[in-house]
Structure formats: structure tokens, C-alpha cells
Chain A
Amino acid sequence: MAEVDLTSVGKVYPDGTRAVTDLGLHIADGEFLVLVGPSGCGKTTALRMVAGLEEISEGEVAIGGRVVNRVPARDRDVAMVFQSYALYPHLSVRDNIGFGLSLRKLPKAEIREKVDRAAEILGLTEHLSRKPRNLSGGQRQRVAMGRAIVREPQAFLMDEPLSNLDAKLRVQMRAEIARIQRDLGVTTIYVTHDQTEAMTLGDRVAVMKKGELQQVAPPQELYDRPANLFVAGFIGSPAMNLLKATLAGDAGDARLEIGGQTLALPPGVLAERPDLASRLGGEVVVGIRPEDMEDADLVEAPAGSALTSTADLVEAMGSDVLVHFALEADQVVTEDTRELARDAGTDVLGHLERPRTDLVARFSPRTRVKVGDPVTARVDTGRLHFFDIESGAAIWGSDAAGPSREDENEGQ
């Protein structure tokens, strides 16, 4: 068990492609850090550089205080769980789990004992003599985990270990991985593109985009205080609604003008974000989480706290109802939102004849809204998010607790 340090790590492939830029992370001993981001954001490359499967082009990687840039993978004493599990097909489960130990020339009896113990933790005891091809997906995944834990390495590296499982099994294995990691207390770096996995597993979550670290923070902080538009849009499901709005009024009585509608800002909002005052009269990007909106028919909606539109689509999820509607506000088109759209597989961002932005609100199941009905959404104006329209950075203030991008790159 050890801490893992990445200092200004970069990866440039021989053909000039840059996969990772100036990545700085400090992972404490026993910490569970999740690297998350859309495909192609460099998270797997970063992990493979820690593993030693990918050469480190720039910067330094240290495991347990030892710089390992020039240390081959087999001597780094880290274990990796692969997305494909990478089980040895010609070996039994027992030999698969014990493979690393037998390469280290441990006595047979000791290997046996350690494999038995790992198998017990993972519930694989009765499958030890079977071959991987006779196992189910979940069991294969467990064997891959067993191969990692039996070695008692300095750190676990996991590369999307759950993405080949079906949804139900994924939730179950997710809990299991969390339990095993907590019990063993091994430093873990976990790569995923699934933000739910990131939020539920990580002690801290590092969000990456195009090879650059966007924010590292505990999951709740990531959700509450995203550092920029990209993190805001990536974390949370359904994603945060992002709209262009004009900040009007004065410091005592600020208002947001969104496509002809007005939201009054409670005084606390400006107090918390000193930088916001200087933007009065200008345009900002405002972010509204779907869960911060509620059907105005069900709750009290004071003046200046509601948005009205027509319901385009109503999705009943049982526990809540997702209502889609559009506002006559300009779409937010920045590099961040384009990247998010690319990740979601939509290319709707572009010039429209009239300003129009689609929103999703998460209403209580008691709502009576039907498709085509007029809908009034009560917005929790105290929980709005504000971003700079050019840089996409969250608007806070130097003396506020809000994180800025520069601080983040140093980790915590």
C-alpha cells in the first residue's frame, strides 16, 4: 500500500498525438480515486502510464515515493484489472489467481493458502478448478479481481472493470469492489466513463477532458461546485441544463433574464459569489440541475422563481417524472458543451433560427403534467450555477471557498 503521485505527466505518441497534458494528481495511501471522462479523454492512457504499460513522455510518476518512470511494469508492484478481464484461458481459476505469485517464486503451499483466502473473499471457492471459459461474466470479473488482490500490491489499477457486465450485475459488483477496497485499504485508481460509478465509488473523482484534468474533488463537491461547464454537464444524470442568461438588476436585487422570463436571485447567491457582482448587466451561463426544479402546481412558487413553457416529452421513471421543455434562450455553445454533446452522441448544437434550448426537469411523481400541457417549473434559485460565457469556468470569487482551475491541478 502506498501513495501514488503524478507530477505534470504528459503523453505524446510517436505520431505526435497528445493524449495527456500536464496531469498532476496525488493519491493518498488507501484512497480510492476515480478517473472519469468521455472516451478518448486520456484517462486510460494515464492509468497505463502508472501501470507501466505505456511510456511516460513527460513528467514523473511515483509509487510509494519511488519514481517509476524507468521501472518496467513487472517491477512496479501494482496490479491491474482489465476491462476484458484478460484471464489466461489455459489455466484454471486457481492458477489464474496464483499466476503472479508463482512468477514471484513463492512456495507452493503459500500460494495455495493465499489463493484460497482471495477466493473466499470473492466467493469463488467452489469454482477454483474451473477454466475461465466455463465461468459467467460476473465470475470472470471476480477472478480478475482475485488476481489483483492476491498479490497484495502497492496499488490497484482498474480499467473500466465493470463495463462488460449487464446493468444489474454491474451495480452488484460495484458494491463488491467498494467493499473489497475498503476492507483491504489498498490505494486504487479506477478508470470509468460512467459518472454513476465515479460518484458511488470514489473517495475523490478526477474529471478529465481531452487529456486535461478539469477538477479533482470528492463526489458531492463535484456535484455541488463543478469547476467549469464541462464538469457541470458531465456529472449528474440527467445532465445539468445550461442556458445563456443576462444578469440584470443591482447587487441588492439581482435578476436573471432567460429568454424573456425572469428569475430573481436571492441575496445569498451574490454573497457567496463575489465575482458575480462585477458581471451585473452582462451575459453569463446559468446552470440548473433537473432536480432543482419542481412542478409549480405542487409547491409554493413565489414570484420570480418559476419558468413556464410547454411540455415536449414526459418520462415517468416511477420514483420521479422527467419533463422536457424548451425555453427561448440561446444555447450555450462552447468547447466544453461541444465535447459533452460529442460524448452524448448528439450534434444538436448549432445555429437555430430562433433561440431555443431544451431543458429537463425532474418532477415529483405526483405531477399531473402531460405532453403538450403548459408547464411551470419552480426553480430553486438558491442552487443555481454560474459560469463564464467565454471560458466556461465557474463564477465564484477569490475569497469564496469555490475552487478555481489552477488550484485543482495540484490536488489536495
Chain B
Amino acid sequence: MSTAEEAAPTPAPTPATARDGAAGAPRRNLAARLVGRLGGGAAQTLLVLVALFWLVPTLGLLVASLRSNADNNASGWWTVFTEPAQLTAGSYSALLDKGDFVDSFWNTVLITVPATVLVVVIASLAAYAFAWMEFPGRDWLFLAVVALLVVPVQVALIPVAKLYGHVEFGGFHMFGSITGVVLFHVAFGLPFAIFLLRNFFAAIPRDLLEAARMDGGSEWTIFRRVIFPLGGPAIASLGIFQFLWVWNDLLVALVFADTESQPMTKWLQSQMRQFTGNIDILAPGAFLSLIVPLAVFFAFQRYFVEGVLAGSVK
């Protein structure tokens, strides 16, 4: 691999490497050749093997979800390779007939999408202000936001639950509502989101913003037509992280959601039995909750474009 070869001849100028440089030229050539040979075949094969190994549990989950409960109780999922006749979609159709599972799926969507969109929108606006607008106390305020990064979710559970208990009007109870879960996720997603985006926006060359200003752009136009498109990669990765975090959350849902507003994670958890296996529900449910984030990741990964700033300023 070329990166390894390039990195090898430029070590830090320590005395040891200086000595090696004088007498150790053949040795380095040997090392370089080894790296080259490994890089060609063995290393790559190893990496592919590790990646495949990592996928085994997911594959097992998928296979198990496609077998009947009796088969799952009788033999391991890998027997499917010798007896493909075991495969059946019965678990899925049974699961999708369960009204409370379908409800919990939609609850997950209704929690995750607003919690992600709100965080991305609010954080990018705030990050622009922190990075590029002058106002008194800006840096102190930003420090305060960064300080919030260290507040763990757990310490806020009880105070926020108490607070939510007081918020009710016209039959609406914040505690146990989807809104309550969304707000909690937004509040705890924002500090990191603002921190990440501010640092990314601050790295955008000042000249670009000034050029947009000279071209007649207001702050809002500059944000919408220059900063937001240029922040694409950072915003996309933030969106994906936030989406995954909220989609997979169990703790917040356990505390703040009731059976009406529970997401899939909480529903699945409620299906766990201590003694009898109900893998025909858990396996397809878990696989369905897994497939959506995967789809989101692959849909957005093209926005992770490197070097999007290349060519703007020299």
C-alpha cells in the first residue's frame, strides 16, 4: 500500500532513526518490500476476513428471523446451510400482524425524524452564529455549550421527568408523550452538534463569506447558500450520528415513553421472557430495527465527500 511506503521513509528525526538512516538502508528496503507484499494480498485478505467475521452475528440474526420457532429451539442457525428448506417468512408475517409492534415502529420514526431534523437545523444555525457572527459574550456562551457536553444523560432523567410531570394542558401530558421523548433527545444532542458544526464552519475560509457579503448576501443568504452547502459533509455525518443514537435509544424511551408512545426498542425489551424463548418475535423485530439505520447510512454516505473545499481559495 502506497501510504505505508510513503510513511516509512519519513520518520521523525530522532537520533535512533538518524542512525538507522546511515547504516540501515537495506533493512528499510526489506521492510518496505514486506509491507508491499503484505499490502498486495495478505493484509487485504485479513481485513476482508475481519469484516466478514464482524458480520456473522447480524447474519445469524437474519437467518434466525427466517426460521420457525421450533427449528430455532432445536438447532443452531447455521444448520440452514445444509437444510435450506427451513427458511420461512412466517415470523415476519406474524410480527407484522401484531398491531403494537407496527405502532412502535411508527413511534420510532416519529421520535427519530423530528429529533434529528431539529438538532441539525438548530445546531447549524447556532454554529453559524458562534463561528461567524459578532455578539457580546459569544465565546463565553460557546464555552457554556461545550461544558454541557460533559453532563451525562442519567443525571437529567429524574429532574426532567419531574419537570415533564408539571407540563400538561388540554389533556396533553408531556410525560409519556412522543414530544417529551423528542425534546429530551434534542436537548442532549445539541451540545455535541453545535460543537461539531461550529468547528467545521469556523474552518471555512473567511474570504468566502466576505465575498458572499460583497455579492449582496445577507447573513441568512450566506448561511443558506454558502455555509450550508459547504457544511454538507459535517451536517450529513452529524445527521447520521444523531439518527442512529435516537433510533437505537432504549434508556430515554424506558423513562419517558408510555405504552402508547413507546419505540421499537422499548417494545422489543418488553417482549423478552426470562425462561421461554420467543426468538420468533425478537429476531425479526431486531432485524427490522437494524435495517433502517443501515439504509439511512448508505443513502447519506455519498455526502461524505472528501475535499469539498478544494479549489475555493488557494
Contact = CB atoms under 8 A, between A and B. Distances in A.
A103 B211 contact: no
Interface of A: 51-53, 72-75, 78-80, 82-90, 99-100, 103-104, 131-135, 137, 140, 147, 151, 164
B312 A88 contact: yes
B230 A89 contact: yes
A347 B266 CA distance: 75
Contacts of A99: 212, 215, 225
Interface of B: 205, 207-208, 210-218, 221, 225-226, 229-230, 232, 307-314
Interchain residue pairs A-B with the least CB separation, the first 7: A133-B311, A100-B215, A84-B313, A89-B312, A86-B207, A86-B211, A132-B311
Contacts of B221: 103
Given A72-B213, A80-B210, A151-B215, 6 more contacts: A51-B214, A74-B215, A74-B216, A82-B207, A86-B208, A88-B208
Nearest to B226: A88
Nearest to B213: A73
A85 B310 CA distance: 13
B34 to A, nearest CB: 37
B213 A132 contact: no
Nearest to A165: B314
Contacts, number: 91
A89 B205 CA distance: 11
A141 to B, nearest CB: 9
A147 B205 CA distance: 18
Contacts of A82: 207, 210-211, 313
Nearest to B229: A90
A151 B308 CA distance: 27
A131 B307 CA distance: 13
A135 B310 CA distance: 11
A100 B216 contact: yes
Q: Which of A72, A79, A88, A104 has the most CB of B within 10 A?
A: A88
Given A80-B211, A82-B210, A87 B311 contact: yes
Give the one of A72, A87, A164 with max B CB within 10 A: A87
Contacts of B229: 90
A89 B214 contact: no
B209 to A, nearest CB: 9
Contacts of A133: 307, 310-312
B213 A74 contact: yes
A164 B211 CA distance: 17
Contacts of B217: 74, 103
A159 to B, nearest CB: 9
A75 to B, nearest CB: 8
Interface centre among B210, B212, B215, B218 (most CB of A within 10 A): B215
A210 B312 CA distance: 31
12 contacts: A51-B214, A79-B215, A86-B210, A87-B313, A89-B309, A89-B312, A90-B229, A103-B217, A104-B216, A133-B307, A133-B312, A137-B314
Question: Most B CB atoms within 10 A — which of A74, A85, A164?
Answer: A74
B94 to A, nearest CB: 49
A164 B229 CA distance: 26
B65 to A, nearest CB: 42
A80 to B, nearest CB: 5
Contacts of B211: 80, 82, 86-88, 147
A151 B312 CA distance: 20
Contacts of B311: 87, 89, 131-135, 140
Contacts of A53: 210, 213-214
